Amino acid sequence: MRARGAVVQAGPGNDPLTGVANLFDIGLVFIVGLIVTIFSAYNLQDLLSEKSEMTILKMSKNQEMEIITKKGNKIKAMKVSKQKAKGRGERLGVAYKLEDGTMVYVPE
């Protein structure tokens, strides 16, 4: 004889979503660890500091250059164009391209 209306209750050990929740937690810990490792490997801790000033020169695959400057909380990006500039100016320093392709700017 079959019991009618019998309800089967799952105990706490039978919940299939418990493993998914644990995987989600592990994924979050992995992502945070990866971000901290990347910041440490590339010495990017200055990006998070309010008092730091830094300049990054970025070159894309199609040889377009972009200069990214950070002063305090402000970050400014400028694209370098091949247009010639006109007008009067003041010499600020000298840039050298080394044999290995790196560029060095020496302010005066």
Domain parsing of the chain, residue ranges: 16-41, 49-83
Which strand (E) or helix (H) includes residue 106? strand 103-107
pLDDT at 1: 52
- Token pair listed for 23: 């995987």
Candidates 64, 43, 62, 63; CA nearest to 54 is 43
pTM (2 d.p.): 0.46
> What confidence tens digit (pLDDT) does each residue in 37-70 have?
998 888 777 777 888 888 888 988 888 899 999 8
Residues 108 and 106: their CA atoms lie apart, in Å, by 7
